[in-house]
Amino acid sequence: MSEAQLVQGNEACVKGALAAGCTFYGGYPITPSSEIAEHMVRRMPEVGGVFIQMEDEIASLAAVIGASLGGSKAMTATSGPGFSLMQEHIGFATMAEVPCVIVDVMRGGPSTGMPTSPSQADVMQARWGTHGDHSAIVLAPSSVGEVFDLTVRAFNLAERFRTPVILLYDEIIGHTRESVVLPASVTVVDRVRPNAESEDFWPKKAASNGVPEMADFGDGHRFHVTGLAHDTRGFPTNDSAVAEALISRLHDKIEAHTDEIVEVETFMMDDAEIAIFAYGIVGRSAAEAVERARADGIKAGLVRPLTLWPFPYAEVKEAAQQVDTIVVAEMNLGQLIGEVERAAGGKAEIVGHLRADGEPITPTALRDVLAKLDGGPA
């Protein structure tokens, strides 16, 4: 039976990674993510894993990819500036279909920005930071407990879909200590490996679930891995039909399985007339604001995506058909609000409550927004 323990968000990430079977960590120091590395260096030896501090974030994700090809579950963690450097290898891992987990503990930007202040300004970087057409899986926890859960989920989705998965949370969640009861055991998903005796191994031919089986380097199947467009044997090609088939498959293996990926939590939405759309730490402020608004007689509700990408278009559309107004609250100058507008398709008024000054969006601020929109005193 698990007991309540006081855990920091970044530490919960490490605990989740170990529960999911992570045995390799490669990273580079950066505020506000460094505690992940500092816990990993202690925990990896306990599970026979490897910790290495690399020379930069580019190398960190390269090492993670190398370890994953060797058969390890591997991860790295960083913040905005380092996340920018990792984009090259997020693209590589996407193209080469190498499972891995990247944690971005967001801080104020652009550039060096505000290293010790929270933000949610990397949402679009997580989706479109690397070049080329691709899909992305991005998860956004709101609490220390959810950091644990979604870290496990990030590894499971990475293994299921052979793709990099990004865990996106901000400085507040990373540094907050909360009392949590962590599960004694979790469901763990492993990549599907080919039969060791199989002579007929096609490293990039998809199985019925849209994802090719993945052999470990050194286990008898000799194969090629490349970031170039390639055929089902994994070998480079300039054949446009072959390239098109690859790019479409990489896209579809995620977009055709959103039911396995997308998670949205709703709160007091049953009779809501006004909804807040918020994620991460803002989701918690929003829940508090909704409760206070309800006490004032305002029919408010919350739509909180735990999956930012693929974006929950269907769930937001459903909410837009029900309510008059959706308040999109995010700690940036408006990144997911455009997706909410696209999903709503004019069915509800979309109002932004945006903040990019390194300060959190408070429950009081959101309660006031709800009161004002409801026609009451602001």
- In the complex, the residues that contact other proteins under the rule CB under 8 A are 23-24, 26, 41-42, 44-46, 48-52, 54-56, 58-60, 62-72, 74, 88-89, 92, 216-228, 235-236
Cα–Cα dist 244/24, whole Å: 33
**Strand partners of residue 104:** 78, 168
Of 96 and 286, the one with the shorter C-beta distance to other proteins is 96
**Smallest separation, CB 98 to other proteins (Å):** 10
Of 50 and 124, the one with the shorter C-beta distance to other proteins is 50
On the CB side of 187, CA atoms within 13 Å amount to 8
Of 58 and 114, the one with the shorter C-beta distance to other proteins is 58
Amino acid at 132: G
**Strand 100-108, strand 73-78: pairing:** parallel
**Smallest separation, CB 147 to other proteins (Å):** 23
**Smallest separation, CB 276 to other proteins (Å):** 41
**Smallest separation, CB 63 to other proteins (Å):** 3
**Smallest separation, CB 43 to other proteins (Å):** 10
Q: Looking at residue 362, what DSSP letter applies?
A: P
**Smallest separation, CB 13 to other proteins (Å):** 18
Cα–Cα dist 339/323, whole Å: 17
Q: Quick one: residue 272, left, alpha or beta (phi over 0 = left, psi -120 to 50 = alpha)? A: beta
277, 316 in Cβ contact below 8 A?
A: yes
233, 214 in Cβ contact below 8 A?
A: no
Q: Provide the token pair at 349.
A: 């008024």
Of 26 and 118, the one with the shorter C-beta distance to other proteins is 26
Of 58 and 268, the one with the shorter C-beta distance to other proteins is 58
Of 6 and 228, the one with the shorter C-beta distance to other proteins is 228
Cα–Cα dist 228/184, whole Å: 42
Q: Provide the token pair at 312.
A: 């929950």
